[in-house]
Amino acid sequence: MDYGIKTWGNDNFFIEDGKVKVNTGCEPSLIEIIQEIRRDGIRGPILLRFPHLIQKQIRMIYKSFADAKKEFGYEGNFSAVYPLKVNQFPNFVKNLVTLGQKYHYGLEAGSKAELILAMAYNNPDAPITVNGFKDNEMISLGFIAAEMGHNITLTIEGLNELESIISIAKDRFGCVPNIGLRIRLHSSGIGIWAKSGGINSKFGLTSTELLEAVNMLRDANLLEKFTMIHFHIGSQITDIAPLKKALREAGNIYAELCRMGATHLRAINLGGGLAVEYSQHKTTLHKNYTLSEYANDVVYLLKDIATQKGVHEPDIFIESGRFVAAHHAVLIAPVLELFSQEYTDQKLRPKEINPPLVQELYDLLGTMNRKNALEFLHDSIDHMESLLTLFDLGYIDLQDRSNTEILVNLIIKKAVGLVADKKLSEILDIQDRVQERYLVNFSLFQSLPDFWGIGQTFPVMPLDRLDEVPTRSASLWDITCDSDGEIGFNTETPLFLHDVDIKNRDYFLGFFLVGAYQEVLGMKHNLFTHPTEATIIIDDDGYSIENILESQSISDILEDLDYDIKEVQENLNDRIEASDIISEKEKKHILGEIYLFLNDNGYLKTINNEDNSQ
């Protein structure tokens, strides 16, 4: 009933009075925040940002490394940069930069556009690191950043980039960025994002290339600019062991390079990878270590290697993004419909003489009790299969078929209610067979692309009714016209939701930990755009809803695809004007409607009835 909130929630949310509440300040419930936003007429999915959760993650990182440094008497410095690729949305980045100011928290860029952002927003005195493939223009941008006074390190992915740096340094104004070398480790990561490490990875210099790079730098009189080595074994490192192995390898490379005369080499950049616990179930945890364990291991291992090899203890850089960004955003989406909601007994149309199996379904429904519930449920599902075959063979008619569907659904509802308090293992099989489909007003492709792309799961739970036992095994359907837009019921990690009548009562689902990667990877499948977003600031006296940014309108999204929106509008107008099925007055009315549609977003608004707009 708590949807594993203690496992994935990081103490950020808790349940009280049947509602999910935010664990800070005045502790508002998510449902009251959403209802307040909706009071202004906003509908569809809404992404809530909580800046205090960005602050919490940044604070935890710096504190854990400060504690580890103290514990082991470590002499190197600790720095962190936020990799922009994880979430570049302004209402996230601007908050992050402000909140990170006192730590000199920096930014990492992996493209020209991200570098421009870093140059424009990075905190003074905070580092910038640049990774990824670079052409001459991107390298020149790095020089411009250095010329502006930024503390920037360009990390070289291949020797050709180093050649470009050497050549550009000759042509510019004497101010050269720091240079990092990305090392190609033998060690690789673990999990679905492990491809960034290992000898066959896309990035980094081999040992031979490293030696060559040092010689090139020495020959160009730029060895003093070589300050950092960098590696990244993949995002969401689920197990600490591969990281420790990679650290040993990187630490030894660092020591060897220092001993070879890289006099200004001072830092090891571990890249990102700190994992987030996404699991709602204790049996399927997504990581096996804590942040302080990570910090202690990093500091201890690097100290150990430096001592063994007689080199100075390196400064430590990390580029963890997922860990910093994931927690801050929650997507709230209204449930629009329960698939079985239309199956009510009012819709039954019994015949004077029903076919025997249909009559038996009536009897099963009427006589079902707690003791026989599962048996009757099995029987009813078997009967339904037989009745559908009879329909295909022409022995029963559409009305019998409709009665069958309604009766079986009524039996399912009654049975799951009767056995709700039984052990999950006893009823899991049947729950799998009697899933309820919840149609949810969001696009999985836009808001949870990693679920679609690589099967990454995210915690999901209703925002209220948490003091009532959820009885329905749920599969979630999004509103795209694509059957991949579904989070199916999984008996390993089952999701149960409440049996709600959406016509009479709202029911919202929260998708948590969606602040990392999901927003920018989101696809405009079916032309559903980034959802409406709002930033929630909470203190002891109350909360405020700021920076509401409504989801793009249909006009905007068509323009993004390079449609000439005037042409679209003119085509529509001409076709309406030319219609001879409607009157002039009706045409005017329709033109007004079209105008409103074009200027609104494409998520669903009303379903079932006007009063219950979603």
> Residues interacting with ligand PLP, by CB under 6 A?
83, 86, 108, 131, 196, 232, 235-236, 271-274, 319-323
**Residue 51 dihedral angles phi and psi, to the nearest 5°:** -60, -30
Structure token pair of residue 142: 């790095």
Which of 49, 232 has the CB closer to ligand PLP?
232
Q: How far is the CB of 502 from ligand PLP (least distance, A)?
A: 37
Least distance CB 361 / ligand PLP (angstroms) = 53
Residue nearest to ligand PLP (CB): 272
Q: Which residues pair with 548 in a beta bridge?
A: none
Three-state helix/strand/coil letters over 519-532: HHHCCCHHHCCCCE
Are 421 and 372 in contact by the 8 Å Cβ rule? The answer is no
The neighbouring-strand residues paired with 151 are: 127
The distance of closest approach from Cβ of residue 453 to ligand PLP in the complex, given in angstroms and rounded to an integer, is 14
Angle at alpha carbon of residue 345, lines to 343 and 351, rounded to 5°: 110
Structure tokens belonging to residue 21: 């509440």
* Min separation Cβ 562 and ligand PLP, Å: 30
CB neighbour list of residue 517: distance below 8 Å, 6 or more residues apart: 85, 86, 87, 322, 449, 450
Measured from the CB atom, the residue of 85 and 525 that comes closer to ligand PLP is 85
Structure token digits, residue 478 = 């999004």
Minimum separation from the CB atom of position 416 to ligand PLP (A): 40
Please spell the DSSP secondary structure of 427-490, one letter per residue: HHHHHHHTPEEEEESS-HHHH-HHHHHH-----EEESS-TTS---EEEEEE-SSS-TTSEE---
**E strands in 364-410:** none
Question: Least separation, in Å, of the C-beta of 454 and ligand PLP?
Answer: 13
DSSP 36-57: HHHHTT--S-EEEE-HHHHHHH
CA distance linking residue 465 with residue 256, whole number of Å: 60
Closer to ligand PLP at the Cβ: 318 or 387? 318
Distance of alpha carbon 464 from alpha carbon 509, whole angstroms: 9
> Which CB atom, from 202 or from 312, has the smaller least distance to ligand PLP?
202
Positive or negative, the Cα torsion across 605, 606, 611, 614?
negative
Nearest to ligand PLP of 86, 181 (CB atom)? 86
Could you tell me which residues come within 8 angstroms of residue 598 by beta carbon, excluding any fewer than 6 positions away? 553, 554, 555, 565, 568, 569
Return the number of the residue (33 or 139) whose C-beta is nearest ligand PLP: 139
Least Å from the CB of residue 154 to ligand PLP: 13
At 249 the three-state DSSP class reads helix
Pick 236 or 280: Cβ nearer ligand PLP = 236
User: CB of residue 340 vs ligand PLP: minimum separation in angstroms?
Assistant: 40
List the one residue out of 318, 334, 241, 372 whose CA is nearest residue 79.
318
Residue number, 319 or 519, with CB nearest to ligand PLP: 319
Nearer to ligand PLP, 155 or 532 (CB): 155
CB of 325 to ligand PLP, least distance (A): 8
CB 238 within 8 A of CB 284: no
Taking the C-alpha atoms of residue 227 and residue 494, their distance in angstroms, rounded to an integer, is: 49
The residues annotated as belonging to the active site are 481
